[in-house]
Structure 1
C-alpha cells in the first residue's frame, strides 16, 4: 500500500479523527442494549481494534456481540473480508478469539510462503454473515454514501438500524464495559469493571499520556518521513517507556515487600499499572507492548532496545497478562500482527519480507 501517512510539509504522522461516536444505553433513543443486535468488525493486527476484542472477552460478551475479522493484508482499497461461507458454523463468530483460530497455531514458523491473497477461512480472515460485504468500505458507504475518509477498524455495527454506532475504539471499550449488557452475561462477569469509580481519574490520566506518547507514539516514529521528526518521536517513545518501567518497578517492589519475593502468585494477582486490579489502563497499554518486539522495533525503527531485554518490569507485566488471562492470549495473533505491518506498509517495507523473529513471540512466564 503506497498511501502516505505523514503530512507533506512537516513529515509528521497525523492520525484521523473517528467520524462516528454514538453510544448504547437504555436511555438512548436508537441504540439500546440487546443480545445479538450489535456486531464488531475488527482487525487482529490493529492495536485499537484489539482493545475491543479483549474488553469483549473480559466482560463476558462473546455470546452477546459477534465479530468478523478482516484480512491481515491492507491493500489499496482498504480492509477486506473473505467471501461469505453459507455453510460455516455461526458459533464461530461468538468465540473468544473472534472466529479466528490464532491461539492454537504455532506463530514462530516462516511466513514467506503465505500470499497476500491467502484465503484460509478463519485463519487469514472470516466473512461477514450480517451484510455479506467483502470490503469494510461497504459498511461506511451504507452509513454515508458520501463518506470520504479512511475506512478504519474497529466498527461497532447495529444490525437493526444498519448503522455504525461507533468507530472510536476508546468509546467502544467504554460502551462494552459500561454494564449495559450485564443482563445477557453470566453472573461471574457482572462484577468485572475495568473503570471502577475510585480509579477512573487515575486511569484517564494514565491513558492520556500513554496514548499520545506510546500507543500513538510508535506510529509517529514509524510513519515519520523526516529524520528530525523521527528522532524526536522515537526518543519520546522510550522516555515514556522508562516512565512505565519506573511505575511497574515501584509496584513490584511494594508487592515483594508485602508478600515476599517467592510468592509470585500473590504478586502477579495485583501487578497492574493502575491500582491493584486489572483495568482499562492495562488493556490499552498491552496492545502496543505486545506488538513492540515483533513489529515496532524493526518496522517502526523503535530500536533503542526491546521490551524483553530493556524493560524487565514491563516484560513481566506483559507476560502476566498474556499467560494468566485468556482474554489477552486468545485475541493476540502474532501471524496477523507481523504479516499486516510488513506486507501492507509498502513505503516502509517495499519488498514485503516478513522477519521471522523475535523467537519466541513472547517469553514464558
Structure 2
C-alpha cells in the first residue's frame, strides 16, 4: 500500500527534524483497526509512559500492541545510534525489553529512516507506527496522550469511549495547569539535571519545587483522591510520570534535592500511593506500566557526563512509599526555602489561585498586618498599607 500523503500542514516534512503529528481517525489515512498500529516505548521514559498509561486506561492493550526498547545504552551525546531492541548482535537479552517484530531492527532509528530516509531529528519514544503503510503516525507524547483517548473509540465498548481524561467541565482547569506543569515540572527536572552551569541549575531547581508545592496545595484544596478531586484526568497522568520517578531518580541523579515526595509532601505522597497501589484498572494502568529497574538503569547508565561510573543506587526503598494508617490526610507540606516560596507565589497568581498565593505571601512576609491584598482584573499585587 502506498504511504498516505500528509493531511495537514503540521504533518512531518520529509528531510527535516520535525516530528510526526498525524492521528488515527475514521475516514482519514490512518483508520482505526485492531492490530494495525504498534506503540514503541521505553519503560524508562516519562513521556512514553503517558501514552502507555492511556493505552491501559482505555483498554487498548489488545488493539495496540507495544514494543519496548532497552533502557541503555543510548549512544553518543548526539543520540547516535540511539535506543536498541533486544537483538542477537547487541549482547545479552535485557529483561522487559523486546525484539522488534516489525523489521527485526537492532535500533529504533531504523524505523525513523524507514518512515523518512532523510530524517534529521532525534530517535525518541513514544512512536505510534502503522504496520500497513510502514510509517510513523505520531511521535509526540502530548498529542498521543490526547489522541489515544478517542482514536479507537469505534472499536471500544460504550463505557470506554470519549475523552475520559479530558472531561468538558474540567478542560479550562486542565489546560491552565498543563502549561506550567509541563514547563516547570515535567521539563523542569531535565532543565535542572542537564544544566551545564551553576547559574542555570540554581534557576531550574527552585522552579521544580515551586511546582510541587502548588500541586501539594491543589490536592489538599480539592480533597483528592486525584488532582482535581474525584475525577482522574490528564493532569494525574502527566504528574504521575514525573512524580513516580522523583525520589528514585531526580533527587540524586538530577540533583533536585531540596526535598523528597515521601518526606516533604504528604498530599503528593498519598496521591502517588493511591495511584500506584490501587486495585483494578487504575492500579494496572499506573503500577503495571512502571518498571523501576528500567527507570533507574536508564538514567544512571546512559548519562555518562552526569554519572561517569554508571553505578545505579540501590535506594530509596521502597520505590513508592505506601500511605500508612494514621497519616495526617489534612497536613499540607512543601519546601519552604524562600526562593521556592517566591516562585510558588508567582505561579499561584499565574494560574489564578489568589487565596493560596495569599497564604504563601504570609509565609514570606512573616507579618501579614504590614500588607494588604489587592486584585484588579488579571493583575494582582501586594502593596504596603
* TM-score, scaled relative to structure 1: 0.78
Q: 1:239: Cα distance to partner? A: 1.1
CA distance in 1, matches of 2:177, 2:207: 16
Question: Gapped runs of 5+ residues in structure 1?
Answer: 1-16, 85-115, 253-269
* TM-score, scaled relative to structure 2: 0.74
Cα distance per residue 1:238-278 (max 9 Å; x no partner): 111111111111123xxxxxxxxxxxxxxxxx511124200
Cα distance per residue 1:54-99 (max 9 Å; x no partner): 0000000001001000001032111010138xxxxxxxxxxxxxxx
CA contact (8 A) 1:273 1:281 kept: yes
Aligned pairs (5 A) from 1:316-335:
316-324=270-278, 325-335=283-293
Which structure has more relative contact order (CA 8 Å, sep 6+)? It is 1
CA distance in 2, matches of 1:274, 1:202: 8
Q: 1:184: Cα distance to partner? A: 2.3
Aligned pairs (5 A) from 1:1-365:
19-28=19-28, 30-76=29-75, 77-83=81-87, 117-120=91-94, 123-178=95-150, 180-190=151-161, 193-252=164-223, 270-324=224-278, 325-365=283-323
CA contact (8 A) 2:227 2:236 kept: yes
CA contact (8 A) 1:245 1:314 kept: yes
CA distance in 2, matches of 1:311, 1:230: 22
Question: Gapped runs of 5+ residues in structure 2?
Answer: 1-16, 76-80, 324-385
User: Once superposed, what is the RMSD of the aligned Cα atoms?
Assistant: 1.6
The 1:222/1:18 distance shift into structure 2, 3 A limit, reads: farther
Secondary structure at 1:171's aligned position in 2? helix
The 1:20/1:54 distance shift into structure 2, 3 A limit, reads: same
How many residue pairs were aligned? 297
CA contact (8 A) 1:299 1:341 kept: yes
Q: Which has the larger radius of gyration?
A: 2
Cα distance per residue 1:293-338 (max 9 Å; x no partner): 0000000000001110011101111111111121000000000000
Quote the residue 1:256 is aligned against: none
